[in-house]
Amino acid sequence: MPRTHVWWRTKGPKTTPKETITKGKVRIKQVRSGIGHSWRMRLTLEALGLRHHQSEVTRQDSPALRGQIKHVRHLVEVTPVED
């Protein structure tokens, strides 16, 4: 049976910093390309609204959004939005 998942310990953060997830809105910026990553990660980037490298979106924070960010945390940068 072929290996379907390879874990590179040097790629991406081990955990998401606490200050990046807030109760309000968050700004998500794509800092790395989806090329070379799995189709699921590319679809997650599209679902977040990130169509191109270096694009930014602002979203309302929710548990579903946190799960999507966690899935592609090595490709995006998350900052809280000041109201």
Give pLDDT tens digits along the chain (83 positions). 555 666 666 666 666 666 555 578 999 999 999 999 999 999 999 999 999 999 999 999 988 899 999 999 999 999 999 87
What is Dmax (Cα atoms) for the chain?
51
Q: Is 42 exposed, middle or buried (CB count within 10 Å of its CB: 0-12, 13-18, 19+)?
A: middle
Q: Tell me the whole-structure pTM to 2 decimals.
A: 0.71
- Residue found by looking up tokens 């602002």 in the block: 58
Fold adopted by 34-80: Ribosomal Protein L30; Chain: A, (3.30.1390)
How is the chain split into domains, by residue range? 34-80
What are the phi and psi torsion angles at 41 (to 5°)? -65, -40
Q: How confident is the model at residue 2, as a pLDDT?
A: 58
Checking phi first, is residue 44 left (phi over 0); if not, alpha (psi -120 to 50) or beta?
alpha
What is the Cα–Cα distance from 1 to 64, expressed in whole angstroms? 32
